[in-house]
Structures are given as C-alpha cells and as structure tokens.
Amino acid sequence: MNSSIQWISWVKHGVVFGYLIAMYLFLISTAVGAHLVTYFTGRYYQDEDFLPLEKVGTFLPWLILLLMPSLLLVDMTHPERFYTMFYHWNWTAPVAYGVYIIPLCILTYALHSFYLFRPEMMLAVREDRAGSGLYRFLLWGGIEEGSATEIRQRQQKSQNLWANLTLVFSFLALLYVGLRLSSFKGRVMVHSMATVFIFLSLAASSGTGFMILLGRLKTAIAPPPGPALAKQNRFLADFGGILKYALVAQFAIWFVYLIQLGFTGSGGNLAAYIFLGGPRAVQFWFFQLVIGLILPLALMCFQSLRENPLASLVAGAATMIGAFFAVANLSIGSQLIPLTHLQWEQMAPEPFKTAFGLVIMAILLALFLVSYKILPYEKPVAQKSEA
C-alpha cells in the first residue's frame, strides 16, 4: 500500500536515550548481576577461601552503583533539580522507584562490604600493617580482639542481615531496569515482560563475566598465598561454568523474544528487522551475537579453557561487551522505529556524553585495581598461620 506513497512533510523526533543511558542500564545490570552470582555461589561453597571473591562481587558493584548515577545526571538537561525526584514521588513512574531502589542498593552494598572487610581490617590495625590508618578510620575506632574467623563469627548476624538485604534490593534493581524500558507504551520492541527477562539473563551473564574478569585481575595483582590461590582459581573456573549456562539462557531468551516479535504485528516485525537486517544489524550480529555470545560460549565450553586465565579474561570481557551492545540495541533500537512517519529515526552524535561514559568506565576500572592494593581482600598471612 505504501509503495505508492511519497512523504512530503513530517517531523523527525530522533533518539532521546542514547549510549549514556545504555551504559547506565548496562552498568546496573552488570553490578547487580555480579553481586547476585557471587552471593549465590558464596552460599553454595560456604568456604572461607571464597570470601576474597565475595568481596570482589560486593565492593566493586558498590563502586559501580556509586558512580553510575553520574551518567543519569549528565544525560539530564537540569541535573541541579535531581533531588526533587526524592519528594515529588510519582508512583506510576518506574524512574521514581529507581530513585529509591538504587540508593538503597548503594547503602546495603556498602554495609555488606564493610562487614566483609571488617575482620581483616581489624587485624591489620592491631598489627599496625600498611593501610592501618585508613582501616582505623573506616572502623570508627571499634577494634575487637580475636582472629579474623572469630570476629567474623561474632558479626555473622549483622553480616547476614545486610547480605540478605542486598539480595532484595538487587532483584528490585534488576526489575527496575527491565521495567524502566518495558513500561513504554507503544514501543513495541521493549513493551513486554520479555524485556525484564532479557535484563535478568544479561545480568547473569554479564555479572559472571565481570566476576571472571575482575577475579582474574585480582589474583594477578594481589595474589593470595599458594593453597588459597589454587582454590580461588578453581572458583573462577567454576564461574566459567556458570557463564556457559548463563549464556545459553541468554541465547534462549533472545531466541524466544525474536520469535515473539514476529507475532506482534507489523511493528513487531519491524522491531525484529532492526536487529536482523536494519539499522542495528551490525551491532546485533557482530557485537552482541558473535563477540558477546558465541565467542565466550565457545571458550567456556571446555574445562581447560575455563581454567586458562587468558581465555577466561577474554570470555569475561567479550560477554560484557556483548551485554552492553544487547542493552544498547534494545534501548536505542526501540527508539529508531518512527511513530509519526516512515523513515528511521536518527541518533544525533553525542561526543561529550559518550566520552563522559567512557571516562567513568575508565575511572571505575582504575578504582577496582587500586582497591586490590589498598583493601584487605585476602586473609592476612599471620592470621592464617594462627588458624
């Protein structure tokens, strides 16, 4: 019908949520996913030697969540009014929930991290080790007696409370990012519960990839003593196994999602076309599918490669790149479908915003690596010999 139509005049509206918001959504899902994966594997292993990785999976996501709202602020045209969201609460707006959920995530992650590091920090203060000044400040003077294990046993109740609360708010944060996109009425690409499941699967795979990447970097930068290192390497290899299944789940969810789109009228077909042959095809086929899904899946299928640090690093990084493009494809792709005319909406270049996002990511990586040198991730050697 439209083949004989010429468009004479219309208005183009462009893309309002660009790469910065995609980074924001990706970082939330990665941080929360990393923490959830660590939380559950930690409960599964119940091993003291897993604690350093639990610290990686709690403290580093906390850093991400702490810096990530800056992306949202830079994307706003009036960031100076951001605080008004806290008291002009609109209960039908998904963002209004995020305004509370993300700070509560930050708070619970901070307290959970504090209790994870607390015994080792106390030991370092008592033995006047390097960094004891910082630790004394963080501990606020309350130094207890006993070994790290004894202190940990005494604080178990509080540690568990905050750990469990991180679990609650992590799931809420994941629901928030999913609903933030899926609630947009009339945006056929994202307006379904499939978006929420996509974010759950992305969080699982990207979070596991993050743990493998940052866990391997930790063992390289601040290696634990011999037997603990062997155990941590085994845990990290096991993360490879989790990543394999998370990627399979992600593949399955995307497959079902694309099939669903095919049965959602002409708008759904067009949404699927955006991924498969339209404006986001390169990002979908190359970055999301080949780099983000097939490559890490191929690497993590073999036990020898899961144990190989380089192969796991590549798999972790590739998974995260793929997850980022998956989020970007969903977020940006959903806005490319025109609502009032028959030409793709165009995304105006945002060099400042994109550069800002990359700078924040670089700062985060630097902070992660510095924290490995500053904070007591491992059990102190002296305490180990005590045990």
Residue ranges in contact with other proteins by CB under 8 A: 1-11, 13, 16-17, 72, 75-79, 81-82, 84-85, 88-96, 99, 155, 157-158, 161, 183-187, 266-267, 269-270, 273, 277-279, 335, 337-344
Residue whose CB is less far from other proteins, 12 or 373:
12
Minimum distance from CB of 75 to other proteins (Å)?
A: 7
Residue whose CB is less far from other proteins, 193 or 220:
193
What are the DSSP calls for 222-242, one per residue? Answer: SPPPHHHHHHHHHHHHHHHHH
CB contact set of 53 (below 8 Å; sequence gap of 6+): 38, 41, 42, 211, 215, 218, 232, 235, 236
Minimum distance from CB of 26 to other proteins (Å)?
A: 17
Minimum distance from CB of 90 to other proteins (Å)?
A: 5
- Specify burial of residue 74 (Cβ count, 10 A radius: 0-12, 13-18, 19+): middle
Minimum distance from CB of 252 to other proteins (Å)?
A: 25
Q: How far is CA 226 from the centre of its chain?
A: 30
Nearest-5° angle of CA 378, CA 381, CA 384?
A: 90
Residue whose CB is less far from other proteins, 108 or 206:
108
Residue whose CB is less far from other proteins, 81 or 373:
81
d(CA 50, CA 312): 18
Minimum distance from CB of 279 to other proteins (Å)?
A: 5
CB contact set of 26 (below 8 Å; sequence gap of 6+): 202, 206, 323, 324, 327, 328
d(CA 126, CA 364): 31
Residue whose CB is less far from other proteins, 326 or 337:
337
Minimum distance from CB of 61 to other proteins (Å)?
A: 21
Residue whose CB is less far from other proteins, 94 or 380:
94
